[in-house]
């Protein structure tokens, strides 16, 4: 879709307006629409849209000038101190910045009217627009700034940056404290060393701003002894070389630093802000079982993987011989809990030795992997941990929540360690230990609900669903599952034993049947339309045989006759398709309940189906047209 050619114009009375012009640069369609809507409300709203929400958009130079102007207004709000809280008041326009901007106007209509007074007036209009929108949103200042663009939440804040420095073998990490002063044209925070703040905010007039900037650092220093020492010795204001233990100490306290208001930035290669961890994995039943039932012998293998790659025995020994913290394996830093890794690996290797010597039965394998529900269902872990054998009734209640619940109740905060309980329920408070991905439990076409999971070891129930996963065909193992349950309790009923594919098929059965009926009716309608068009065109051709004969006698070519008749058929077909499209658009809402993964107004559907109908009409018109083009003119005239 083509964009709009728009530009900005400053009137003699200092009003900034958006106007369309053939000589202007073309804006992206959605960007042009947003700017038109904003400037239609007034210059203040248009400038606020430019400077606050479109900070990362690619725009022509004249828009970039006014975006920079409006962004300075928003930046001034980001540095507000706690003492400034209360009824909103727009920041005063800096006189030096207004004078600087007035001396470098862009090439635009009305550039000669840009003066410090005009800029101050527009600054006040931005303030009025900001106050109105913040009041409508019913948010305080910082949450409203974040709603305009999340990047604004980084401006005016201290960042603790940890980076890798592979060239320094003794101290392979570097620490640098920075603060952000503004956003770039790509909506990225512009960082300066924290020591620069001492120079920028020098003087009594800026003392409150400096104290507000350093307040999160002071809070963090009260919680982290190593940071307090750095602050006391003024090491916080310049880059520092760090050893792996020092970097690991920083990693462990990252949560405390963020709670204090400091933004923590880890190396870009660390997913989710943490280095990868080696994991002990076990594979049960990769090969076909030897026999049937619970006594069927399964193979078992254990190993340690890092980001999906299996580590060698030498690499595992290197991890176990070191200390807790950060270790360099295969050119990557990994986080190691040596005691936990050794304990888990020892347990799994013991099973591996038993399996190699005697084999392990299906029942033993079920007891071993019974807590691995999320792994069996391939539900990804986003944060925290899965349930484990320590989650028993003897410890406080724990829970794992999904992403939907995280976003709805904790927004972008880290929910690990937070607690919740159900209102009007006897269920006690639960501590969140993990966050997993969204799952559609009911049907593929339903929106995922908020879900939390409780460990069965803390909440034994009279009924449960057991999930098992096999690397081979699961059907042969179903008898072993039934036998194991019968051995536990012969009177325990087993029902609804199905594969995941069968569950999915059942959830879609009603819709597939409805769509099958609709497809049959649509096919019949298409056939009737083709027969109808053919009948109408055949009738019209038979009625116009005399005219066709005269045209051919007067020299009309076969192609001309063919095009004439097919063209008449196409006019009828196109008119019918147009009427049908209008009717289809009117019926999209009732049809929406039968669709999954496709919108009721899917553009490809509304493009392909009319094309098919027109093609069918073309073929139905071509047959009688071809017969008419071959008629003998003398025979047609004699018939008349």
pLDDT per position as a tens digit, 103-123: 988 888 999 999 999 999 999
- What's the confidence (pLDDT) of residue 401? 84
Rounded to whole angstroms, the Cα distance separating 326 from 275 reads: 8
338 exposure class (CB count in 10 Å sphere: 0-12, 13-18, 19+):
middle
Under DSSP, is residue 568 helix (H, G, I), strand (E, B) or coil?
helix
- What's the confidence (pLDDT) of residue 38? 92
Instruction: Supply angle C-alpha 347, 350, 351, rounded to 5.
Output: 95
Q: Between residues 287 and 55, which one has the greater pLDDT?
A: 55
Domain boundaries, given as residue ranges, for the chain: 4-148, 156-268, 378-456, 503-639
Do 210 and 194 form a contact (C-beta atoms < 8 A)?
Answer: no
- What's the confidence (pLDDT) of residue 123? 92
Instruction: Quote the strand ranges of 229-293, DSSP E.
Output: 240-242, 263-265, 279-284
The secondary structure of 336-365 as a DSSP string is E-HHHHHHHHHHHHHHHHHHHHT-EEHHHH
Nearest alpha carbon to residue 237 among 272, 278, 199, 277: 199
- For 297-310, what is the mean pLDDT? 67
Write the CA distances from 227 to 178, 189, 221, integer angstroms.
15, 24, 5
Do 619 and 527 form a contact (C-beta atoms < 8 A)?
Answer: no
Which of the four pLDDT bands, split at 50, 70 and 90, describes residue 301?
A: low
Write the CA distances from 395 to 125, 151, 239, 367, 384, integer angstroms.
59, 41, 44, 21, 18
209-214: long-range contacts (C-beta < 8 A, 24 or more apart)?
A: 209/79, 209/81, 211/81, 212/79, 212/80, 212/81, 212/82, 212/83, 213/79, 213/156, 213/157, 213/158, 213/179, 214/158
Least confident of 288-302, 529-543, 550-564: 288-302
Instruction: Supply angle C-alpha 161, 163, 166, rounded to 5.
Output: 165
Which of the four pLDDT bands, split at 50, 70 and 90, describes residue 325?
A: confident
Rounded to whole angstroms, the Cα distance separating 49 from 126 reads: 10
Q: Between residues 462 and 362, which one has the greater pLDDT?
A: 462
Q: Between residues 450 and 573, which one has the greater pLDDT?
A: 573
Write the CA distances from 425 to 390, 392, 400, 429, 451, integer angstroms.
25, 21, 18, 10, 16
Asked if the model's pLDDT at residue 45 lies above 90, the reply is: yes
pLDDT per position as a tens digit, 137-176: 888 887 888 888 877 777 778 889 999 988 888 899 999 9
Write the CA distances from 233 to 201, 225, 226, 236, integer angstroms.
20, 13, 11, 8
- What's the confidence (pLDDT) of residue 44? 92
597 CA to centre of own chain: 17
Q: Between residues 205 and 546, which one has the greater pLDDT?
A: 546
- What's the confidence (pLDDT) of residue 243? 92
The string over 18-52, giving b where at least 16 C-beta atoms fall within 10 Å of a residue's C-beta and e elsewhere, is beeeeebeebeeebbebbbebbeebbbbbbbbbbb
- For 264-291, what is the mean pLDDT? 69
- For 198-203, what is the mean pLDDT? 70
- What's the confidence (pLDDT) of residue 202? 66
Write the CA distances from 523 to 87, 519, 576, integer angstroms.
66, 6, 17
pLDDT, the chain, mean: 77
Under DSSP, is residue 430 helix (H, G, I), strand (E, B) or coil?
strand
Asked if the model's pLDDT at residue 364 lies above 80, the reply is: no
Question: Across the chain, which distance is largest between two alpha carbons, in Å?
Answer: 116
Rounded to whole angstroms, the Cα distance separating 333 from 270 reads: 9
Do 466 and 474 form a contact (C-beta atoms < 8 A)?
Answer: no
Asked if the model's pLDDT at residue 85 lies above 60, the reply is: no
pLDDT per position as a tens digit, 26-44: 888 888 889 999 999 999 9
pLDDT per position as a tens digit, 367-392: 443 456 777 777 888 888 888 777 77
Nearest alpha carbon to residue 572 among 537, 607, 544: 537
- In the sheet that holds 309-310, the strands lie side by side as 279-284, 300-306, 309-310
Under DSSP, is residue 335 helix (H, G, I), strand (E, B) or coil?
strand
pLDDT per position as a tens digit, 224-248: 999 999 888 888 888 999 999 999 9
Q: Between residues 529 and 579, which one has the greater pLDDT?
A: 579
Instruction: Supply angle C-alpha 248, 249, 255, rounded to 5.
Output: 100
Which distant-in-sequence residues (6+ apart) come within 8 Å of 360 by Cβ? 284, 297, 298, 300, 351, 354, 368
């Amino acid at each position: 879709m083509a964009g709009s050619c728009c530009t900005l114009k400053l009137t003699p009375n200092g009003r900034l307006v958006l106007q369309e012009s053939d000589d202007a640069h073309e804006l992206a369609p959605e960007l042009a629409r947003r700017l038109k809507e904003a400037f239609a409300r007034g210059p203040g709203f248009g400038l606020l849209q430019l400077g606050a929400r479109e900070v990362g958009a690619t725009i022509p130079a004249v828009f970039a000038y006014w975006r920079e102007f409006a962004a300075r207004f928003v930046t001034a709000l980001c540095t507000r101190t706690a003492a400034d809280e209360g009824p909103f008041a727009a920041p005063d326009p800096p006189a030096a910045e207004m004078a600087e901007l007035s001396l470098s106007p862009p090439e635009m209509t009305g550039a000669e009217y840009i003066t410090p007074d005009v800029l101050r007036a527009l600054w006040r209009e931005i303030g009025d627009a900001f106050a109105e929108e913040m009041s409508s949103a019913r948010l305080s200042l910082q949450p409203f700034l974040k709603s305009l663009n999340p990047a604004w939440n980084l401006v005016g804040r201290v960042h603790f940056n940890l980076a890798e420095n592979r060239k320094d073998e003794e101290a392979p990490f570097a620490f640098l404290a920075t603060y952000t002063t503004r956003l770039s044209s790509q909506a990225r925070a512009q960082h300066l060393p924290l020591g620069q703040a001492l120079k920028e905010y020098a003087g009594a007039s800026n003392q409150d701003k400096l104290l507000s900037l350093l307040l999160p650092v002071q809070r963090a220093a009260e919680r982290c002894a190593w940071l307090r020492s750095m602050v006391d010795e003024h090491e916080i204001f310049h880059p520092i070389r760090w050893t792996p233990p020092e970097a690991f100490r920083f990693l462990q306290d990252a949560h405390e630093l963020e709670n204090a208001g400091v933004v923590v930035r880890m190396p870009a290669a660390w997913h989710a802000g943490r280095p990868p961890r080696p994991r002990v994995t076990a594979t049960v039943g990769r090969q076909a079982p030897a026999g049937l039932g619970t006594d069927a012998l399964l193979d078992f293998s254990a190993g340690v993987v890092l980001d999906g790659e299996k580590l060698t025995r030498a690499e595992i020994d290197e991890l176990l011989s070191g200390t807790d913290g950060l270790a360099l394996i295969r050119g990557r830093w990994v986080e190691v809990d040596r005691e936990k890794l050794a304990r888990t690996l020892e347990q799994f290797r013991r099973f591996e030795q038993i399996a190699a010597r005697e084999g392990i039965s299906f029942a033993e394998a079920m007891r071993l992997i019974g807590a691995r529900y999320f792994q069996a269902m391939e539900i990804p872990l986003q944060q925290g941990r899965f349930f484990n054998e320590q989650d028993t009734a003897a410890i406080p209640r724990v829970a794992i929540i999904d992403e939907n619940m995280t976003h709805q109740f904790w927004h972008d905060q880290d929910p690990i360690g937070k607690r919740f309980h159900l209102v009007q329920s006897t269920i006690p408070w639960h501590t969140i230990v993990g966050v997993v991905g969204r799952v559609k439990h009911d049907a593929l076409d339903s929106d995922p609900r908020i879900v939390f999971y409780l460990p069965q070891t803390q909440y034994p129930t009279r009924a449960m669903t057991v999930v098992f996963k096999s690397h081979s065909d699961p059907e042969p193992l179903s008898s072993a599952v039934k036998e194991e349950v019968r051995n536990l309790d012969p009177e325990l009923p087993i029902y609804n034993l199905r594969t995941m594919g069968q569950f999915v098929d059942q959830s879609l059965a009603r819709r597939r049947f409805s769509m099958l009926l609709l497809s049959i009716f649509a096919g019949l309608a298409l056939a009737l339309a083709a027969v109808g068009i053919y009948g109408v065109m055949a009738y019209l051709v038979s009625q116009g045989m005399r005219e066709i004969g005269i045209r051919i006698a007067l020299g009309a070519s076969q192609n001309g006759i063919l095009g004439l008749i097919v063209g008449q058929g196409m006019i009828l077909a196109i008119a019918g398709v147009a009427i049908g499209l209008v009717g289809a658009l009117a019926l999209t809402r009732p049809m929406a309940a039968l669709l999954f993964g496709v919108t009721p107004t899917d553009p490809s559907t509304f493009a392909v189906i009319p094309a098919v109908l027109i093609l069918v009409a073309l073929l139905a018109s071509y047959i009688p047209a071809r017969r008419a083009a071959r008629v003998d003119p003398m025979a047609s005239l004699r018939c008349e």
